[in-house]
Amino acid sequence: MTPYSQNVDIGAYACQLTIRKGAEMARSKVVLAYSGGLDTSVAIRWLQDRELDVVAFTVDVGQPCDLQDIKEKAERLGAKACILDARREFAEDFILRALRANALYEGQYPLSTALARPLIGKHLVDIARREGAKFIAHGCTGKGNDQVRFDLCTTALAPELQIIAPMRVWGMTREQEIEYAREHGIPVPVSNASPYSTDENLWGRSVECGILENPAIEPPEEAFEWTQSPLDAPDEPTYVNVRFEAGKPIALDGKHADLQSIIVSLNKVAGLNGIGRIDHIESRLVGIKSREVYECPAATVLLKAHQALEAMVLPRDLLDFKRGVEAKYSMLIYDGLWFTPLRESLDAFIESASERVTGEVSVKLFKGSAQVVGRTSPNSLYNHALATYSSGDVFRQDMAEGFIYVWGLPARTWAAVGACPQPKLVKAAKRAR
């Protein structure tokens, strides 16, 4: 057992391990995070060529695909295939925590892809231990954020396991990968004519590559799948009502449901109304500025509804402090630091702050806009008698002058001192003998 996870880098033996063909490694196992796409399908054959037995592991986090087909594809390539349905776990243990934290990286990205990585990473470790594997592999490039997330999951949970990242070392372009797949009989439905790289789960869909790499060009309609163009969305608004209990959505339009079901329903209705399209320049952890396009219909609606309810039931100082926590929490998710004491400690604060976040929020969906138009809560701090300017006002306006005097005293004192000439320091007279 080694004290730290090691990265296996073919052809670069510099304080790292090198995989060699031969009897020494013939029966070693590697668990591969398998999506069924081009990169990980090519990775199966590439790993097998290095005398490794591959366990292709696919986690269902809500991606709309045929998981049985993915399993059969891996088996046809000679790998042992495993599938895990983790949709409920993803919703309850990961999405809910992010929702309570109003997690938005750089104020825009709901962290859909980033949030699924620690869940997948945790189960990769579990499968590796069950299978007696020495290695964990993934299909991440050396330019993106996901490599960091998967590697750090292994580092935090199983430092004895070693990491293989084929795309960091094999040096193939996307076009060369496609050719490699054809030469080795790997069935991958991709061509040079469809350049988009996508990732999907319950919380959102990400789209990269192709024309999207030019930040000056508007994303073409063909890049979107979950959301209707706002121009083609219904001409009448749709209203949805979300009920929360301690910060957790428990009902949609009056019908109680689990969080997974609420997210699935909102993805459909909000997507139909053109809600959840995000296009921004993102600061990647590795130092690259990247143009990112996302579709997050349910996340957009739930985050706005949750923030509106918090604004009604939490005092100003708590809201202000929590915003700083939210920014840090979002950064931890994005940077792959889910399995850390800091994230767990922040969760404890957020859970405490969510105790009174109970109530119902109405959101108006119309041609790409999600607008909170109503909210109620038994814990509301909104008091009509204090807020109104009409009859029934009980706010004691005559007390305001004294409050302002005391509140402004530091500023008044500062200004008064600044207007006076500065006194010279006077030395104390020598004490007489």
Which residues are identified as catalytic? 39, 117, 146, 197
Residue type, 231: L
User: Phi and psi for 6 in degrees, rounded to 5?
Assistant: -115, 145
Side-chain half-sphere of 13: how many Cα atoms within 13 Å?
4
Three-state secondary structure along 45-66? HHHHCCCCEEEEEEEECCCCCC
Q: How many CB atoms lie within 10 A of CB 155?
A: 18
d(CA 367, CA 238): 10
Q: How many CB atoms lie within 10 A of CB 191?
A: 9
User: Phi and psi for 294 in degrees, rounded to 5?
Assistant: -130, 155
User: Phi and psi for 348 in degrees, rounded to 5?
Assistant: -65, -40
Residue type, 306: H
Nearest alpha carbon to residue 302 among 252, 237, 258: 252
d(CA 111, CA 95): 9
Q: Is 374 helix (H, G, I), strand (E, B) or coil?
A: strand
Check if the beta carbon of residue 56 is closer than 8 Å to that of residue 74: yes
